[in-house]
Chain A
């Protein structure tokens, strides 16, 4: 492949309209071999989930009510760091309505353990108990579970708990954690360091920096954030006597991993646990790790032999759930006089809070950043040290983008700064350094498959130029207003297979996925996946893949997900893996089923299978359009007239397929272009224009891809301008409601246009790459660059996030004394 992007049909970069969905043409069912025409892939069909979700007929975990069900809440630590000398629950048990209360000692559960297979110098394993025993490491850590007949009584019960603490000094900041002689969060982790990895160090890199004509540096800190699914976490646990099985209905992106860990902690065979996931209101990574509360809820249900529900309230969700994103970068880049990047050097510290999450461990952020930081640029020399430190804050989990929003922001700041130093246009500087020939193996030993890095950036810039934003910026400057234009350019590894995950040296290695396609006697298809849509529209997109493969009407395909008893194992939905990996498994399973259908028809006709072909809902005899079996006719034989089956063909119509990726995965890419206006006197950052050009290979459903991009961008904007989890000096969380945790609303998120390029992936079964995280990755860099562009006359540069209005207002106060932006003319002239 030559890496050239195809523009799929006419599209309008300004309106962001997707290409027109291919109409289903009844006459186009002409099949060739086993590959019938594909009317569904690439069609922006409406989401099949929407009628139920938009009319309030979805069923979420909290909607589940079982007979005799009890309600759980957790006694949580009020101290950030302490030795627990006593937990007295006698008073709790006296509270009217309280049925039971259990501590760790009462339940005797195994710990949640996630490990990396790395030497102790690189990784210190720590275990996370389901309920804290004699030590608490963050305010909000669960100490006991209280079970009551209603949620109100459960909270009354919490107030009656008496916990005796011996306070320890809390470690809440990086500087405190790394200070010599700092108090230890985990006694076994000296220096409060859980991960310390120096993955790359190109020989001679110091000389490159010493001799380079241009060296720029960026120090950036990014605020701690909450992934903030609208639906908080929750679980309903009950014991099924007939199945001799625990039924755990829970809001999880990874039902099988929840099953594995629940079985281990409860010391049950894994077959004795069934995890079922109902509708989900988001996850964004916070629900792709196993939570302590869901396991404690299960343990309480087993102990009481009654169904128990736990629904996380918003205060706990903000303070005691999994968090993410708090990182510190000290990075340098060297360039030659022509603007070619010579070297990159980064020291990265990720504050992972109190514990390692399962299965990713505290390595999730530093390992991602180390491996991927050079990104879309041809960086010849690279050195990186990345650490995970542990502090007395709620633990970190993956959050949409995982480290990429941060390192892309730092990379793009380095390029902007170098452009200023060198006096070249920042977009041009990127062009000189982008990877344009594929496959490309980088200094980070990753092989990038074909993408449209250059084309996406060109189109994004052209869009803003054609719309006159550069002239508007100049006019605004003349009026004393502050407009800025910023870009980001990045790729995102999606479709991590077992091989790629194994390189992280996780003890539990995700990667492959399994799908089963089963046709019933009426010719309808049920596809069961190991992925778990929590907003990604898999009921629509996976069905499009299967319908295409078999030439079925979309209405004939039903997707089933989120039930561990219905598929052997699955890795769920995270890391933008579902369409790339799970979708490929779906296509393979459907293809296998298609082959079975052809075998059956061929046998009935007494001809070789090669002489058959799949058509629209039927198998035809090649060369004779008049001879065919409908799928219903074949299903009737396969199930209800098995005596007609030829020897060697088993009754029934189902096929299972697995798919894995055996290389470095596939890279989606995008460019974002942003125009902001900064308002003097308030510091408000108003986003006037947001243009995204994305390439996720073959878009199964362009509207769904756009939705993913827009939602992701909203979360990226949230990180760069609004949200931050904060603590006081004692480690007490201070953002306990949406009043203080400033998640932006529809008012603050601008219209976003999304244009598509299409560089098909060579090794996924549909040509698709992942599309789940790119929006979040590109937004912080593009917005921050635009803010800095607008601040150019002030001489102030902002590299850390969130950028608050007060910060901007202070920077703009320098406007009065600043020089006009001389760089403008110089930057323009280089084009």
Chain B
């Protein structure tokens, strides 16, 4: 469990990092918190010849809410920084994001792991990937060709694969609108494990409390985090927000998915979990 030999590079800024990526080609990997990459390197499942450390780049760990209500999170912000952010930087409209942090690994992992690293790694059960999918986030990447923005729905391609070009790096994720009635929940055998299934729900509640619709996203049921339109229909049917509507939503979600069947859980069990967790996420979202 020692990595194969590699050359260590330290980038001073984003241009430097992307220039090195272009120079070194496929043999190079960016490293920030290293919480997934180093474990894979220790098993020699990943053997990059070059590591480009972006951890020292200034100005990429920001966390702020725009006047328009959008939340901008720098790629180098740690999970722990988000978890403990003061309300003036991460307000009640995005509390779902702060609260979701408690599901990520354990404290030592949260203090080192970064938002950008988690998104670029693209584990199908990662909390950031699920949040991005749920809340229509926009991801900003920079490469030799400049800057581009990628919608979350276009970003995740499958197991550990994304829309990022080899010479690009993530710099920021933007959550465009507040989601005051949203929640993320999950189930794993042990606290801190990758979820067997994770569920996130955002409800659109009118001022009079009427349910105008909502979004439902699931992790652990496919190669990438997915939205479930069938379940969202149940939230947009004009029915009052409450147990019956949430149960219908959860049932629709369980029926719509085609989850994997593996050592961590059968497809049947994942459907059971989906039913439970979507219900729970709806209730928690409603309670906000």
Contact = CB atoms under 8 A, between A and B. Distances in A.
Interface in A270-328: 313-315
B43 A315 contact: yes
Contacts of B265: 806
Given A315-B43, A726-B263, A809-B272, A744 B190 contact: yes
B194 interface: yes
A742 interface: yes
Contact of B187 (A315, A682, A734, A804): A682
A315 B1 contact: yes
Interface stretch (A148-156, A603-611, A696-704): A148-156
B1 A314 contact: yes
Contacts of A682: 187, 272-273, 276
Given A681-B275, A681-B276, A745 B192 contact: yes
Among B189, B192, B265, the most chain A Cβ lie within 10 Å of the Cβ of B189
Interface stretch (B2-10, B49-57, B111-119, B173-181): B2-10
Given A806-B265, A809-B272, A313 B1 contact: yes
A646 to B, nearest CB: 64
A747 interface: yes
B4 A681 contact: no
B189 A804 contact: yes
B200 to A, nearest CB: 17
Nearest to A315: B1
9 contacts: A155-B1, A313-B1, A315-B43, A681-B272, A742-B189, A745-B106, A745-B190, A806-B265, A806-B266
Given A156-B5, A740-B263, A681 B273 contact: yes
B269 interface: yes
B272 A734 contact: no
B184 to A, nearest CB: 16
Among B1, B44, B265, B269, the most chain A Cβ lie within 10 Å of the Cβ of B1
Contacts of A806: 265-266, 269
- Size bin of chain B's contact surface: 20 to 34
A748 interface: yes
A152 B2 contact: yes
Interface of A: 151-152, 154-156, 159, 313-315, 680-684, 722, 726, 734, 736-737, 739-740, 742, 744-745, 747-748, 804-806, 809-810, 813
Contact of B191 (A159, A315, A745, A813): A745
B276 to A, nearest CB: 3
B190 A742 contact: yes
Contact of A684 (B5, B187, B193, B268): B187
Contacts of A805: 187, 189
Nearest to A805: B189
A680 B279 CA distance: 13
Given A681-B273, A682-B187, A682-B276, A152 B43 contact: no
Given A152-B2, A155-B44, A806-B265, 9 more contacts: A152-B3, A313-B1, A680-B276, A682-B273, A682-B276, A683-B269, A740-B263, A747-B192, A806-B269
A722 B190 contact: yes
Contacts of B269: 683, 806, 809-810
A747 B106 CA distance: 11
Contact of A747 (B3, B190, B275, B279): B190
Given A681-B272, A806-B266, A152 B191 contact: no
A315 B39 CA distance: 12
B6 to A, nearest CB: 10
Contacts of A810: 268-269
B4 A156 contact: yes
A748 B191 CA distance: 7
Contacts of A315: 1, 43
Interface of B: 1-5, 39, 43-44, 106, 187, 189-194, 263, 265-266, 268-269, 272-273, 275-276, 279
A739 B192 CA distance: 10
A478 to B, nearest CB: 19
Contacts of A151: 2
Among B4, B39, B190, the most chain A Cβ lie within 10 Å of the Cβ of B190
Contacts of B39: 737
A97 B275 CA distance: 55
Contacts of B43: 315, 736-737
Given A681-B272, A734-B263, A809-B272, A722 B2 contact: no
A155 B47 CA distance: 13
Q: Which 10 pairs of residues, A with B, have the shortest CB-CB distance?
A: A681-B276, A747-B191, A313-B1, A806-B269, A152-B2, A155-B2, A682-B187, A151-B2, A742-B189, A809-B272
Among B2, B44, B190, the most chain A Cβ lie within 10 Å of the Cβ of B2
A159 B47 CA distance: 13
A739 B194 contact: yes
Nearest to A314: B1
Contacts of B2: 151-152, 154-155, 313
B183 to A, nearest CB: 16
Nearest to B280: A681
Contacts of B193: 739, 742
A230 to B, nearest CB: 15
B110 to A, nearest CB: 14
A740 B279 CA distance: 28
A810 B193 CA distance: 22
A492 B275 CA distance: 45
B159 to A, nearest CB: 15
Contact of A152 (B5, B192, B266, B275): B5
Given A152-B5, A155-B2, A740-B263, A748 B272 contact: no
Nearest to A679: B276
A401 to B, nearest CB: 22
Nearest to A152: B2
A154 B2 CA distance: 9
A38 B5 CA distance: 61
B137 to A, nearest CB: 27
Contacts of A159: 44
Among B194, B268, B272, the most chain A Cβ lie within 10 Å of the Cβ of B272
A159 B194 CA distance: 30
A551 to B, nearest CB: 47
Nearest to A812: B272
A748 B190 contact: yes
A474 B68 CA distance: 53
Nearest to B187: A682
A696 B189 CA distance: 34
A675 to B, nearest CB: 20
Contacts of A313: 1-2
B203 to A, nearest CB: 20
Contacts of B192: 745, 747
A145 B5 CA distance: 21
A63 to B, nearest CB: 18
Contacts of B279: 681
A759 B129 CA distance: 59
Contacts of B272: 681-683, 809, 813
Contacts of A745: 106, 190-192
Nearest to B189: A742
A534 B256 CA distance: 53
Contacts of A684: 187
A513 B7 CA distance: 55
A813 B265 CA distance: 16
A785 B1 CA distance: 40
A212 B177 CA distance: 73
Contacts of B268: 810
A722 B189 contact: yes
Contacts of A737: 39, 43
A138 B280 CA distance: 45
B108 to A, nearest CB: 12
Nearest to A804: B189
A810 B190 CA distance: 19
Contacts of A314: 1
A684 B263 CA distance: 17
Nearest to B276: A681
Contacts of A722: 189-190
